[in-house]
Structure 1
Amino acid sequence: MEGETVKSIPVVSFALILSVIVALITFLTGLYIGLAGSSIFSLASGVIPIAANVAADATNVTNATLPTGGMMAAISGIWALFWIIIMPIAMFIMTFIAYALFAVFYNIIIPKIGGLKLIFAEAANGFELTSIPVVPAALSISAVMAVLGAIYGLIMGIMTGDIVLAIIWLITYAISWFVMYFIIVALGTVFYNFLQPRIGGIKLVLE
């Protein structure tokens, strides 16, 4: 198999698998951040009343309402809930929409300008991605991202209530996202093509 062009991307399966991966990574990250932060807030909730009592005794304060640390305990629970449950769900929804839109616009735009080309060679049990032509990869992906950038800029501009600003942001985001992703993808493919003969490339078992 050589010089295969990715002409279309199945929208649902593409968006689903990638968004699930992002959600799992977010969950694992959130598990660490959530538990670590929750532990700190819980510790603070226990230290605050002790420190308040010590300070009250040292200053001979009486009949005063001392901090109990209850707020920190509540923040501890909210912090853990946010990072462990809410963030993974939110990331799944947002990335599913983003990847689905990417696939939709890829399928619309790419047949008109070419497409992402992948060069494979036969490997032991399948095929190995030996090279990614730089310009087709950078052009196809950055073109799609330019459309998404234009949509994002338009929505953000409309939210300000200024139509002129919305048009300016549409153009600005489209151009900036095109340039940014063209450079990123071009560099990524150059690095891949350089490293593949030295450390090996992505291997696929195709049915």
Structure 2
Amino acid sequence: MELKTIKKIHVLPFAQVVGAVFAVLGFVATIPLFFLMAVPDTSPAGRLGAVGGIILTMIIYPAMLFVISFISSGIMAIVYNFIAPHVGGIKLEVE
């Protein structure tokens, strides 16, 4: 086994991947909400409103997670690139 050190993280690809992962996880997290909110209601308007609201949530929540995680992971990569040369960076054991 060889020990390697991450010397630099390319900001844009890292932020895109982390953002995409969080968007997918956010979408998956809204699926149970869809089924819970789709339970029949006594009023037809109430049921339609709930389903429409959860569909909107299934679109907005992953998009918000993507934007927030994209920005935060981009900042994290920039900070890592400044700190890693001084502290030694993250070490990975690879085969």
Category of TM-score, reference length = shorter chain: 0.7 to 0.9
1:38 pairs with 2:37: yes
TM-score calculated relative to the size of structure 2: 0.85
Instruction: Report matched runs for 1:67-78 at 5 Å.
Output: 69-78=44-53
What is the CA deviation profile of residues 21-71 of structure 1, one whole-angstrom value per residue up to 9, with x for unaligned ones? 21112112223322x13312xx11xx24xxxxxxxxxxxxxxxxxxxx524
SS of the aligned residue for 1:103 comes to: helix
* 1:6 aligned partner: 6
C-alpha deviation, 1:9, in angstroms: 0.4
Inter-partner Cα distance in structure 2 for 1:15 and 1:96: 5
Inter-partner Cα distance in structure 2 for 1:88 and 1:76: 17
Which one of the candidate residues 56, 63, 73 is aligned to 1:81?
A: 56
Number of aligned pairs? 95
Instruction: Report matched runs for 1:172-187 at 5 Å.
Output: none
C-alpha deviation, 1:110, in angstroms: 1.2
* 1:15 aligned partner: 15
Aligned AA (1:78): G
SS of the aligned residue for 2:93 comes to: strand
Inter-partner Cα distance in structure 2 for 1:24 and 1:88: 7
TM-score calculated relative to the size of structure 1: 0.42
C-alpha deviation, 1:81, in angstroms: 1.3
* C-alpha RMSD of matched pairs (Å): 1.8
Inter-partner Cα distance in structure 1 for 2:54 and 2:27: 13
Highest Rg: 1 or 2? 1
* 1:29 aligned partner: 29
Kept after mapping to 1: 8 A contact 2:38/2:47: no
What is the CA deviation profile of residues 158-197 of structure 1, one whole-angstrom value per residue up to 9, with x for unaligned ones? xxxxxxxxxxxxxxxxxxxxxxxxxxxxxxxxxxxxxxxx
Aligned AA (2:52): G
C-alpha deviation, 1:72, in angstroms: 4.5
C-alpha deviation, 1:100, in angstroms: 0.5
Inter-partner Cα distance in structure 2 for 1:96 and 1:3: 29
Inter-partner Cα distance in structure 2 for 1:79 and 1:73: 10
Q: Which sections of structure 1, spanning at least 5 residues, go unmatched?
A: 49-68, 122-207
Kept after mapping to 2: 8 A contact 1:38/1:77: no
